[in-house]
Structure 1
């Protein structure tokens, strides 16, 4: 079986991505910026934005807050599995469609595991407000891997076992070596990647603890990459063990020191989930799926995003006792994993 439909690319095509990489400034320079500066410089209307992290682990929440504050239109969002970062962006379109909008989403999973599936996804999907392209986690990883390798596609058997081949840009050909069907998944080249990590230096070398969640591939596949970090450390320290560096500095365009930048999600070795805040946020969206007004959701955005200028001011709204409790909970979790 072979499909002959013309391929279309969201974000950059492989040729455009290769040209961008050739022309990119790869020098070692100070890339420290504010969130406002980085988002304003690298995110544009109509961009494909690649979102790092996995479900609610290491989600780039602080960057998403700033994206919503600034407002963008007709974005494409690409991720493997996402939770709060995606939820904030989807809910922003629900609450303020005049200010923020998404055109298309390419994904494997959108939800919060023990906190439930995404109500924003259900709201937007049931009303036909957004295009969706459904993949598996492995397929999306392969697409970012292809982009990171500079290849237009990767072969995989994954789509052959279900309906993904019928609802995506998967191409199926006869393998030139075995003669059996093989699926080809197209590379994903975001215009900009947004990623949160545990540590980075000012040049953009990044350390990730726990699952890397395809973040290195997303960073390498994207034209630009914005990184927030829990700790901004010296270059000498970060290169003292080069094998720890999962995202190298040439892939990164902006580094912002944002402790708790994935909160209320978790960040391994730093803090655990704030389940109460996640449930409260999702609880403001769920009634809207069945037709409730957006007043409660708009109030959340007015208080936590539009009512503040920085992510630090957002964090100030949480009692210090709660911040410390979530930090202590992660310490206990790490001890159990040791």
Structure 2
């Protein structure tokens, strides 16, 4: 019998329930997937708390990897036995098996294990668009990256080094500082004990950075703004500490004619050709060993509530996955 983690009301981790479910056969344009691994992402907690609204009751999770067991009518690009990974809607990745629309699927090369895929599809594609699409970065540039020892952070640090880009990474502990440096960060700043914007100005000889990649949100917004060079860009791509405060246009002018954007991964992988290009470059780097995916926490799906507590506590590093 198939099982899935579901929730009937929003709230803390205890609203998550492990239940038997009926999966059924795939319809037109769909496949049935048997999961081998499932990703744990901060976005999952946003759906659970209601920050991201979802019709209830609902499944949980947006990222998984596994094997196609059945295909529906009209499916031509995928077949039974194909290894696939995905990130995106509909919710329901926290499951042993599920029916999925093929539009979200990405074929997984044999060189990449399922757990690695579940740990990197969302994080890796996020790192991909942040470095390859959102700003015209060039070798020699310096960027500020919050949560540099997190799942996205460690991938960005490594990928930036491949591109010749220096990363100033913020961390919360000495352990995380060492992890970020080991994965390619040029500098680290402990945001709990140091003034981030001041350190950025010191490192950049007063200039600031042209780009800040901020996944934390509410508590880092001011320091991120204050770290930017004239006409710099703040990319708010996450809200781990809460939503970003309201932005006043005049504040951006006074601080150097700054730009702010709040992108969503879905808008960078909606086009199949662009998704294939971004995922292809990511997979090639991982398969070649140029980017290592750090899976530092593994859970069973039955322990989803504990996994959410660990993630929200800020004690995790690298990526976290559920293994089946």
Structure having the larger proportion of residues in helix: 1
Larger RCO (CA under 8 A, 6+ residues apart): 1
The question of a shared fold, defined as TM-score above 0.5 by the shorter chain, is answered with: no
Normalized against structure 2, the TM-score is what?
0.32
Structure having the larger proportion of residues in strand: 2
Normalized against structure 1, the TM-score is what?
0.31
